[in-house]
Amino acid sequence: MSRLDRLKMGKVETNHFQQFNELLRYVFQVTKKDLQLVGWEEREIALAKKPVLDQADVIGWFDGEKLVSQLAVYPFQVNIFGQTFEMGGLTGVGTYPEYANMG
């Protein structure tokens, strides 16, 4: 079975938080030293990211139990010339390089 065949899409839940946070930090190249330089403690950054899983629709691609790619969509509304439209803000997009370009 190829790696591509093993990938399954699913909702990223709070029990995936550690993997979610690790993938974000990898993609955006945030190190422990970077956090310390701006005055953040390790625990604080984790707590700051946790609401994403509660407030956004976070979708991930899993290779078995391993979260290998993700994106988050925050639902919101915009008013354009007096008409309200449902929209979604895309954030937290990332994929480990060994899983890139797989469709």
What does the pLDDT average to over 3-23? 89
Q: pTM of the predicted model, to two decimals?
A: 0.79
Instruction: Grade residue 1 by pLDDT with cuts at 50, 70 and 90.
Output: low
Q: pLDDT category, 103, cuts 50, 70, 90?
A: low
Query: Mind listing the domains of the chain with CATH numbers?
Result: 3-95 (3.40.630.30)
> What's the angle, vertex CA 93, arms to CA 70 and CA 100, rounded to 5?
70
- Dihedral, 79, 85, 89, 90 alpha carbons, nearest 10: -150
Residue 12 region by backbone torsions, left for phi larger than 0, else alpha for psi between -120 and 50, else beta: beta
- DSSP β-bridge partners for residue 94: 70
